[in-house]
Amino acid sequence: MSLTTIPYNRVQTTRNILFATRGGKIHSFNLSDSTHLSTWQHPDVEKFANASNKDDSMPQNGTGDAPAAPETGTEASEPPAKRQKTAQGEDLNAPTDNVENSKAGEASQNRGMKQGQKKGKKQSKGPSHGDKSRMGRVVDRPLITLMTCTSDGQHLVAVSGHDKAVWVFEHNGHGSLTQLSQRVMPKRPSSITLGFGPQIIVADKFGDVYSLPLLMTPLSPSNLALRTAVTPSCLGAKPAVPAANTFTVHSKRNRAALEHQRKQLESENAKAGDASKSEGPSFELTLLLGHVSMLTSLVVAESQGKKYILTADRDEHIRVSRYIPQAHIIEAFCLGHKEFISEIIIPLGQDNVLISGGGDEDLIVWDWKAGSILSRTNLLSLAREIVPQTSKIAVSGLTSLLYPSDEGQLTYVLAICEDFKAIFTWQLTDENQLKNPSIIQLPCNPLHITTASPSDDSPLKLIVAMDPGRNTEARSLHGYTLTRSEGRLSSDVELILNGQTADDAEMQVSEKDILDMFYSVENLRKQQDGQEGEDGVDGGSAAPEDGEPEILANPAAAQD
């Protein structure tokens, strides 16, 4: 099996500093001279490397796998440990499939039955995080999946997908990061943005949206009740009650027994409530709203002095909700997509305009406050100019920029699509039309893009994180200078970013692992029979992760 190196997958700029994530590390670069400045790495990077080295030193069974678990004795009858590393670096990655009658296997089978899996359903090709049926080393590999920065550049927020943690760093303005907090979310975040306050707004794959303060403070007794915002009691779980009541029980003896049962259940419910509070998060976390489908993207907006949260999901919905503390109130829906929505943005210089894209042929421009479509532009036809046989497209990234000109600041929109070696650009006109399309062809598949202007007099730069694939000579991090001609954007001089070139052991993965980590957007597309979705879930609702209960979304989601 050939191995490749994990590419850079997220990029974020602030003034003349570029942050780029690669595996479980965040690198910083100076855009002025393209030099590498610093590296922060997730604590699990070293643990994973130690576990990998221990795996490599173990004897093999002739098939390339680790030795099978014992078939006799106590260890064979107990559930296998979760495949991750302990703080002591112990190797807990023993295969679970080799234990025929393990309790974990029975539990997995029961979960599959409860999820309504149907005969003939194909196996999902979604991300392997948390999916132990297709587990490899990539599952517990530290990986930064999301990253954003405050407008002043003083704080950086990142999400590590393997442990569902939100990290907040202080930035000294010169590329060095100081870790301020690590907060583990109830579910794996799928999108993140910075709200007003300042607040971190987090959406997860189960359809819930949470807010947490940017700067973490100890949870005081006065707001201890905030813990209940993420306990099962507010997400649909009901306290136990006697099956009988005073209308169905008539004898004195049975009434006494019923009263005794009622008191006993009240005591048990009280203990369960205390336990849920003690097991809740030790930081302020508020559940704002919920969808009945996987959330894929969210943004915050302000218009005419009012603030809003805009959320997009896999089931073609864009919802406009009020901001905190009235996030349960829905102002509008933007309905018009026929396939999943993967990205939404509010372009720079605009207030009431939203642009969305996903599995459809078109990008849609919205008046999001009114929930009405302003215009459409066909993305598939543009893609066919490069690859004529293209039959479908999946938007994996949207961004915007303001280009200075004699006419003033002009708004441009840029899009990338999964497994497509190009960046598509348009000018957003005053009539809210996407005009002057252009294509910037790339040597590799783009994973993420951002723009930067290190100083007022310097040209705009386009930063692209790419997947070199089998091209060992290609670099993963590219920078281009943007130019404009006849209303269309094009790239000019390429920047040389001196990224880390050392191929550490924890950075070596198979091509399948790369697909699992970075090529998941197309998996949001539902099958033609409407039965299978990502992770083998019917109709687009989210499936519980291994070891986690299936919890319904916020009741406000019923308004969908």
| Single-letter residue type at 33 | D
Position 120 scores a pLDDT of 43
- In angstroms, the CA 235 to CA 35 distance is 48
- In angstroms, the CA 268 to CA 60 distance is 50
Secondary structure tally for the chain: helices H, strands E: 6, 30
302: three-class secondary structure by DSSP = strand
* In 418-505, beta strands by DSSP E: 422-428, 434-441, 445-452, 461-467, 477-485, 488-495
DSSP string, 525-539: SPPTTS---GGG-ST
- In angstroms, the CA 88 to CA 554 distance is 38
- In angstroms, the CA 295 to CA 540 distance is 10
Position 245 scores a pLDDT of 64
Position 142 scores a pLDDT of 92
Give the DSSP H/E element, type plus range, for residue 303.
strand 295-303
- In angstroms, the CA 372 to CA 350 distance is 16
445: three-class secondary structure by DSSP = strand
- In 3-state terms the chain splits into helix, strand, coil percentages (rounded to 5) of 20, 35, 45
- Please name the residues in contact with 441: beta carbons below 8 A apart, sequence gap of 6 or more: 386, 421, 422
Per-residue pLDDT of the chain (560 residues; tens, 9 = 90+): 678 889 999 999 998 999 999 999 999 999 988 899 999 999 999 888 887 766 655 554 444 444 444 443 333 333 444 444 443 444 444 443 333 334 444 444 444 444 444 444 444 444 433 333 333 334 478 999 999 999 999 999 999 999 999 999 999 999 999 999 999 999 999 999 999 988 999 999 999 999 999 998 765 555 554 444 444 334 444 555 555 566 665 677 777 777 777 776 677 666 655 554 545 677 899 999 999 999 999 999 999 999 999 999 999 999 999 999 999 999 999 999 999 999 999 999 888 999 999 999 999 999 999 999 999 999 999 999 999 999 999 999 999 999 988 888 999 999 999 999 999 999 999 999 999 999 999 999 999 999 987 666 778 899 999 999 877 778 899 999 999 999 999 998 887 776 554 556 567 888 999 999 999 999 999 876 544 444 434 334 343 343 333 333 333 333 33
Residue 430, burial from CB neighbour count under 10 angstroms (0-12, 13-18, 19+): exposed
Tokens 């997908």, located at residue: 161
Span between the terminal Cα atoms of the chain, in Å: 46
- In angstroms, the CA 122 to CA 113 distance is 15
Position 117 scores a pLDDT of 44
- Please name the residues in contact with 263: beta carbons below 8 A apart, sequence gap of 6 or more: none
Give the DSSP H/E element, type plus range, for residue 186.
none
- In angstroms, the CA 321 to CA 412 distance is 26
Position 497 scores a pLDDT of 76
**Are β-strands 286-290 and 422-428 bridged in parallel, bridged antiparallel, or unpaired?**
unpaired
Give the DSSP H/E element, type plus range, for residue 193.
strand 189-194
DSSP string, 359-393: SSSEEEEEETTTTEEEEEEEHHHHHTTT-TT----
| Contact by Cβ (8 Å): 432, 350 | no
What's the chain's length in residues? 560
